[in-house]
Structure 1
Amino acid sequence: MKFDGLSDAKTESGLLAIAQNSSGGTGLLDAPEAASHEVNAAAAYLAELHSEASRRAVRSRLNVIARWFGFPDAVCCPWGKLRYAHAVAFVHEFSDKRGLSATSVNAYLSALKGVAETAWRLRQLDLETYSEIKAVKQLRVHREPRGRALSLEESGKLLAAADEEERPSAVRDQAVIALLLGCGLRRAEATTLRMEHLNMAEGSLRVLGKGNKERTVFLTPAVSARIHAWLAVRGPSPGWLFGRYTKDGKLILDSPLDPASIGRIVAKALNESGIEHITTHDLRRTFATRLLSKNVDIVAVKNLMGHANVTTTAKYDRRTADALKEAVNQLDL
């Protein structure tokens, strides 16, 4: 297959010409019929991702890139013909001409590099070409951190709001919110919990996180009390820790909650509590911030949150300026 425009793309003007001629697709690649016998690099890359949410997000980005190349979607694109010139042209087109934020462009570029690595592993790209694509620099970006940490008063109101209803599902909802606040769980992690993961005698819980990584979190007395209350309603039957309720109030333990349901539980409590707007992930930020405020070692916080490195954990720190000022005032000269 011939890769159109490659010789012209050896200069900066050639790179920009590729981007400028990309209305509705670049036509950079010939039709993929000659490579139909090959494993599609995008399909293989997506199969390597453990999280369905990650697969969905990356698939969407790769489809956008493939359409820009002139193909219907990612699995129709012959990624083995990708070159450094096209990665640079894509960044230029979507940042300078289409005005996407640097964060969004970097997310697309990350997906592009991921599929390029898979194409190299499948021997569809040589090492030199892959290295050139990998070397394309991300756009520099600095943004104020998103989200916030709740005050103790706010988290108290949130839990109280979930406790106001007398329905059994309200007991479940309060236990869910307590786990998010007191153990720093991601909402997707709360949906994977099963009875066998819970050890009430030790006050611990096994959690399956991103990348299929398992970790142990520990229940505070306040969290344990709400889990005990839920177990009194739920019963000791094996299955999912948090099941679904039908419209007629029947608890189904072989059908777990999904992440969207966890979000709705938090949103409902938020509306009834009257506190300032938060997201479900803000409960996780609150967990990290409170531990760091108590001078817990950041490596311990990283492990409790299931992060791969402390750099990610540091991004969850939402201590106020007053707290930082208080920390500085403890210094001696």
Structure 2
Amino acid sequence: MNAMHPAGPPAPGHPTAHGDTPRAGTDPATDPLADFLTRAKDARARHRTTAAETAGGRPQDWAHPDRGAHLALPIGHRPVDRALLRSKEGKSRTNFLLELRVVYAMLTGVDRQAVTLEHLQAFPWHQVDLDGAADFRRAVYRRYEVQGTRNDKVCALRRVLDECYKRGLISARRLDLLKETLYTLAVDQDSTRRRRLSSDEIAALLRACASNRDQRAAARDAAIIALFRTSGIRGCELVRTKIADFDPAQHSLLLRETKNGRPHVIFLHPQAEEYLQLWLAHRGPQPGALFSALNRHDLTPLNVSTVRDMVHRRRVEAEVAPFGVHDFRRTFASDLLGRFDPALVSKLLNHRKLDSTMLYDVRGDELKRTAVASLALPAVPLLGPEPTIVPPEDGTEAAVKACTP
């Protein structure tokens, strides 16, 4: 299968990706990475200028038009290199490299055994578009029956696309759209692509936390779930917060490290702040991660996998239908979009583009039914069908039955 599709002409004015500022003290003339980032920044400035002069431009969905743009990056800084370096050295990295070889083979139609690291580094991953991503995912599902194997292949491509975004080769909007296309499903569970959690389900999760005999674990897990529900915080942002980022006077939490690189302040729900204060009473005032291990003397930050495992355990205990941690964020967005201006919700989610916010709206059929039911339709009395005499079969008195057209 060849799932590569031309990305098409560049849409002007694509948004700036984080990580594109040359490092302090570097000379673009002698540092290849600094030179590339400088030229990429200049190119984005030209696109923004063109966008201001061109009506109807779509700067939010953009990919670098040059198939060889990534080759200007030095070895070790290309998307594949960065994705490999993020894998733990040893078996994990080896397995990821094998997955990438399979992905490359499926995208290009070549023999997997002939794929080398040089092939992976030279491939224009940033040119994979939505049609190509959809074709790839369908091919994976046709070839493999085990859901875990399917997820491995899809996630390998997602990780490289993440690095394309970080290197400024695709826009945040395109990355969001590609990830929506390259979604995964929970293994051995009846899962859905994405869903909205109900108030009853949130309450059940909090009750599951409260039922834990370990009060320290109960307080920490309840605070995490409350924050997820009422702030739209991402898992990767939650594990990076420090106790110094919590401002009880302003009832807020500062996120210094976010997906788009912009610091973001979230305002705490009163009840969520009570859960957080209870956890801090157990944790203590020592500097370090806001959410740490349950060992009182270990303030090592949690990682995203640990948070996901915790949420999964509480979900099973609460007997709640399968969902992902990111569904808390979708629930937060969907509930607010029903009552507040989308631009405000976009700010609360720390999105650069309003279109990115609308991807989180999972109200679906519920909203459609409400919209249709709100329409005015005059009620006019109508006569029903004339009754018809049906001859009796047993000689008894005839029965009168309604005849419907």
C-alpha contact (below 8 Å) 1:58/1:111 kept by paired residues: no
2:273 is the counterpart of 1:209 = no
Distance 2:225 2:238 in 1: 10
Aligned counterpart, 2:230: 182
- Correspondence 1:44 to 2:78: yes
Do 2:219 and 2:278's aligned partners in 1 also have CA atoms closer than 8 Å?
yes
Q: Is the 8 A contact 1:186 1:284 kept in 2?
A: yes
Q: Deviations over 1:81-122 (max 9, x none)?
A: 979xx99xx999968977579x988x959958987x97x99x
Match of 1:200 among 223, 235, 248: 248
2:199 paired with 1:164: no
**Match 2:355 to one of 283, 291, 311:** 311
Q: Kindly state the Cα deviation for residue 77 of structure 1 after the two structures are TM-superposed.
A: 3.4
Q: Distance in 2 between matches of 1:91 and 1:288?
A: 26
Alignment root-mean-square deviation, CA = 4.7
SS of 1:307's equivalent in the other structure is coil
Whole-Å Cα distance in 2 between the matches of residues 245 and 96 of structure 1? 42
What percent of counterpart residues are identical?
A: 26
Alignment of 1:87-102 (within 5 A): none
Structure with the larger helix share: 1
Pick from 112, 119, 125 the counterpart of residue 77 of structure 1.
119
* 1: CA distance, partners of 2:134 / 2:310: 42
User: Does 2:321 correspond to 1:272?
Assistant: no
> Measured at CA, do residues 227 and 113 of structure 1 come closer, stay the same or move farther in structure 2, by a change above 3 Å?
closer
TM-score between the two structures when normalised by the length of structure 2:
0.53
Matches within 5 A, 1:102-251: 108=157, 146-167=193-214, 168-207=216-255, 208-246=257-295, 250-251=296-297
Q: Which amino acid aligns with 1:77?
A: H
- Taking structure 1 as the reference length, the TM-score comes to 0.63
Partners of 1:177 and 1:324 in 2: how far apart? 29
Instruction: Answer whether contact 2:80 2:121 (CA < 8 A) is retained.
Output: no
Aligned equivalents of 1:92 and 1:330: distance in 2?
36
Change (3 A) 1:182 1:318: same
Q: CA deviation at 1:259?
A: 0.3
TM-aligned CA deviation for residue 277 of structure 1: 1.9
Deviations 1:213-272 (A, max 9, x none): 3211111111111011111111111110011124xxx3411x100001101111111111
- The CA deviation at 1:179 is 0.7
Using the TM superposition, give the Cα deviation of residue 275 of structure 1 relative to its aligned residue in structure 2, in angstroms.
Answer: 2.0
Task: Give 1:324's aligned residue.
Answer: 368
Contact 1:94 1:100 in 2 (8 A): no
For residue 25 of structure 2, what is the aligned residue in structure 1? none
SS at match of 2:298: strand
* In 1: Cα distance, 2:354 partner to 2:200 partner: 28
Query: What secondary structure is seen at the aligned counterpart in 2 of 1:211?
Result: coil
CA-to-aligned-CA distance 1:56-82 (integer Å, 9 cap, x gap): 999787544566583432xx3385697
Cα distance, 1:263–1:330 mapped onto 2, change above 3 Å: same
Query: 1:193: how far off?
Result: 0.8
What is the distance in 2 between the residues matched to 1:79 and 1:235? 47
Amino acid at match of 1:220: H
Name the structure 1 match of 2:298.
Answer: 252
Whether contact under 8 Å (2:253, 2:268) holds in the other structure is yes
- Once residues 204 and 112 of structure 1 are traced to their aligned partners in structure 2, the CA distance between those partners, rounded to angstroms, is 33
Q: Distance in 1 between matches of 2:355 and 2:313?
A: 32
> In structure 2, what is the Cα distance between the partners aligned to 1:236 and 1:196?
9
In 1, are the aligned partners of 2:80 and 2:120 still within 8 Å (CA)? no
Aligned length: 263
Aligned 8 A contact 2:134 2:182 in 1: no
What is the CA–CA distance in structure 1 between the aligned matches of 2:134 and 2:163, rounded to whole Å? 19
1:6 aligned partner = none
Amino acid at match of 2:204: K
Deviations 1:168-219 (A, max 9, x none): 1211011011111111111111100101111111111112221333211111
**Partner letter of residue 308 of structure 2?**
G
Q: Which runs of 5+ in 1 are unaligned?
A: 1-37, 122-137
